[in-house]
Amino acid sequence: MIRPTLKGQRLAALFLLGFLLFNYPLLSLFSSYTRIWGIPLVYLYIFLAWAAVIALMALVIERREH
């Protein structure tokens, strides 16, 4: 039997975080006509959330387990 590793559990939690970040209730909070630096707020949110999920995945994957 294969033991679940801490890295696998963190990646699964990160998947759930990404699922929540890109789901309807949170996206609807940012769907207004507001613009920041000429960029619609929803596009800025999607890009920043996407970048944050990728950065967190890189941290989880590159972290050494002792």
- pLDDT, tens digit, 9 for 90 and up, residues 4-21: 788 889 999 999 999 999
Q: H or E segment at 22? A: none
Angle at 54 between CA 61 and CA 43, to 5 degrees: 170
**pLDDT(44) > 60:** yes
Contact yes or no for 60/10 (Cβ under 8 A): yes
Return phi, psi of residue 35, to 5°: -125, 140
Mean pLDDT on 54-64: 90
Mean pLDDT on 29-42: 91
Contact yes or no for 20/26 (Cβ under 8 A): yes
- Which one-letter DSSP state was computed for residue 41? H
